[in-house]
Amino acid sequence: MSILFYKDFFKKTRILDGGMGQELLNRGLKPKGTLWSAHALIDKECHQMVIDTHLDFINAGAEVIVTTTFTARRNRLIQNDCEKYFEKINIKAVELAQKARDISKKEVLIAGGLPNQKQTYSADLGEDLDLIEKNFYDQAKLLKHGIDFFYLDVMSSGLECEIALKAIESYNLPVLVGIHLRDNGKLPSGEKIIDIFKKYKNKWLHIDIAGVSFIKNNWKYHQFGATGFGIKSILKLLDTASKIV
């Protein structure tokens, strides 16, 4: 598919899938250490669970599914003494997403998920920024065949976005930039969303609201659990903006 197709695709609000890792846990995944969803890629017995979860997201209305690679990044695998699986499970994640799409027989796009390469939800990238760039590059290299575009999953600073975009530029694939917002409406780096939008306005922008996505008790019109907090406001904002434009 052409770049023009993707630009047209995102000219209106699109529905991405939900949190794969959390859903796998809900379905009984018992990960070792902090492998989380990566465990489902390492263990062949869990591959069907991944496919089924992708399918359920698709059948629920998702127009884009993201590869199960949030914890398949090299740094997390090293922390769990599983770096030897790095290449294998990233390639497998794309294969499982493709299989789910093919089974569904629906026109669903596959996004290659590229998460933070240091610490989730933190703007601290450490001192070796070249290593961060290399890790983005290496993971993207394993995902690029079989996906429709890259998805930078919950970036925590403008610098992190910049490093990731530079690392994957040579792959010549479209990019969806996903940023993480805290309760104060700012990124962990302290930057405002408008600053990121202005700098990367030529990329698609996805807002992650994981920080306020779950509550332990009923609150106002929300029941405990997943809240969908902010969705109504964002949809209203987009609807208003589209009428102004």
Report the run of H or E that residue 226 belongs to, with start and end: strand 225-226
Phi-psi region of 178 (alpha: psi -120 to 50; beta: other; left: phi over 0): beta
Predicted local confidence at residue 42, as pLDDT: 98
Q: What is the pLDDT of residues 53-79, one digit of tens each?
A: 999 999 999 999 999 999 999 999 999
CATH H superfamily, domain 3-210: Homocysteine-binding-like domain (3.20.20.330)
Specify burial of residue 203 (Cβ count, 10 A radius: 0-12, 13-18, 19+).
middle
Mean pLDDT of 102-117: 96
> Distance from first CA to last CA of the chain, Å, rounded?
27
pLDDT reading at 160 higher than 60:
yes
Predicted local confidence at residue 4, as pLDDT: 46
> Per 3-state DSSP, what percentage of the chain is helix, strand, and coil (rounded to 5)?
45, 15, 40
- Reported pTM: 0.82
List C-alpha distances in Å: 31 to 24, 40, 69, 176, 224. 10, 8, 14, 28, 25
Query: Percent of the chain scored above 90 by pLDDT?
Result: 63
| 225-226/214-215 β-pairing | antiparallel
Mean pLDDT of 136-150: 97
Predicted local confidence at residue 206, as pLDDT: 54
Distance CA 68, CA 25 (A): 13
Q: What is the pLDDT of residues 124-135, one digit of tens each?
A: 999 999 999 999
| 64-66/214-215 β-pairing | unpaired
List C-alpha distances in Å: 239 to 7, 11, 184, 232. 18, 12, 24, 11
pLDDT band at 98 (very low <50, low <70, confident <90, very high): very high
Contacting residues for 50 by C-beta, under 8 A, at least 6 apart: 20, 24, 40, 41, 68, 93, 96, 100
Amino acid at 74: R
* Residue showing tokens 């609000």: 13
Amino acid at 91: I
The answer to whether 194 touches 168, Cβ cutoff 8 Å, is no
Across all residues in the chain, what is the average pLDDT? 86
